[in-house]
Every structure is written in C-alpha cells, then in structure tokens.
Amino acid sequence: MSFSRTIPIFLLTVLAVVAPAQNRVAFGKLGETTDNTAVYSSPSRHARMYFRVKPFVELLVRNSDNPEWFKVMLKDRTFGYIPANNVAVLPYTFYRTAGTRSSTLGSRSGSAMANLAMNFQGVPYEWGGTDLTSGVDCSGFVKKIAGSIGLNLPRTAAEQAYVGTPIERLEDLRSGDRLYFYEKKRGKIGHTGIYLGRGYFIHASHGKGQVATDYLSGGWRKLLVAARR
C-alpha cells in the first residue's frame, strides 16, 4: 500500500539532500499558501484549474517565466502554476544529486542510526527540545540521530518529510528509515520517528513523556503518510 495516497497531489514525493554540497543541484523552494487559491495548467486564470488549495499548505515551488506566477510540483513530477501573490516563499531550498533522481543512505548507515537511537530510550520529551540528555521533541530527536551519520535534516517533521528517498510500501521499510505521521489538529505532518524493524519504531513521544518504542499498527498506521531513507 502506498503511503502517498493520503497526501495531497501537489506535495513532492522525491527529494534528496544527502550528497556532498558540490554535487547538489537546487531543485526548488519551500512555499506556503497564504490564502485559498487554485493551481492551473498554465500561468493564466483562464487556464484549466487542476484543484484548489487551502491556506498554510506547504508546496515545492520554482520561478516561472512570468514573475506573477510560481511553478508548483505535482505528484507525478510535472508542474502546475499558482499565483505568486498567494504563496510565501520560505527560507528552505530543496536539492537533488546532480545526474540522479535521489540519493540513498546505505543499509549499514540505516542500521547504525536505529541502533544509536535505541541508546536514548527514556530521555525526557520536551517540546522544542534538541538535547539528547535533558530533553528532546520528535523532530529534534530524529534530526540529532540522523546528524550522527552525516545526514543534516531540517528542524521540523514537515520539512524533514521532503528529504531523502521515499519508501512507498510497508514491506520495503528497513531499519533506520524515517517515518512521518499526519497531525489532524495542525492539518499537516507533525510527528516523526525511526523505524527499528519487525514493525517497531522509536520516537520522542509526547504521550509517554519520553523517547520510547511503539508498534506500527492501529492508530499509528492510519496516521503514517510518508517514509524516507
């Protein structure tokens, strides 16, 4: 079963930044809609409308030949167009590896990441925390663990979910893959953890008040919308 079927069509599903800086090619910017707007087939309000977008939706955008319009990446990696005055461009650039579609962490690195993560069970949960001793939140935990193997992730779960190679099926998950969960209250990805294998994952759990393991079933499975390697 594909994770991406629960993600709106305009969210990018393949991005990579795990490559030396000299081999990276800028692919687009992170944008966020500021109002109800539409995505069109060409830079004109008279063009075919693909769909409408609510405020505060994050998109991958690129400049177009018309400064009044941004290109926005669709799920099939083609582009639609969105009025530029309805998008706030955020200070985050997406990259891909030159000459390739994506870059992947090796299985050995993934296992190392999972094994390292297990050493921090019991560390207190702290919203906004980034300290693996005194307190950490979910995205801070994943960012710190990933950083230990050389992967520099963005700060928030919503941003992190755009980085790396997508895993489309549960049966393809490997130890060390990053999991991303939809948060209904915020209307976007709001939680993350690290897959351990055999259906288990580790995360900084607000509900448990600490870094802990859980089984990927029931409610967690329903909220899982992306996985990255």
pLDDT digits (tens, 9 = 90+) for 132-149: 989 999 999 999 999 887
Q: Which residue has the higher pLDDT, 176 or 30?
A: 176
Looking at residue 25, its pLDDT comes to 63
Residue 65 is predicted with a pLDDT of: 92
**What would the two tokens of residue 71 be?**
């290109």
Instruction: Average the pLDDT over 183-187 and give the result.
Output: 87
Phi, psi of 218 (to 5 degrees): 55, -125
Average pLDDT rounded to a whole number, residues 98-105? 39
CA nearest neighbour of 105 among 43, 189, 176: 176
Q: Is the pLDDT of residue 150 over 90?
A: no
**Domains of the chain: residue spans and CATH:** 3-97 (2.30.30.40), 107-228 (3.90.1720.10)
pTM > 0.75: no
Give 8-63 pLDDT, tens digit per residue: 333 333 333 333 344 456 678 878 899 999 999 999 999 999 889 888 887 888 99
Task: Give residue-wise pLDDT tens across range 158-170.
Answer: 999 999 999 988 9
Q: What is the pLDDT of residue 13?
A: 32
Whether pLDDT at 113 is above 60: yes
Query: Per-residue confidence at 94, pLDDT binned at 50, 70, 90?
Result: low
Q: Give the burial string for 66-79 (b: 16+ CB within 10 Å, else e).
A: eeebbbbbbeeeeb
Mean pLDDT of the residues in the chain: 82
Q: Average the pLDDT over 188-193 and give the result.
A: 96
Host H or E run for residue 116: helix 107-118
Q: What percent of the chain has pLDDT over 70?
A: 79
Question: pLDDT at position 74, please?
Answer: 76
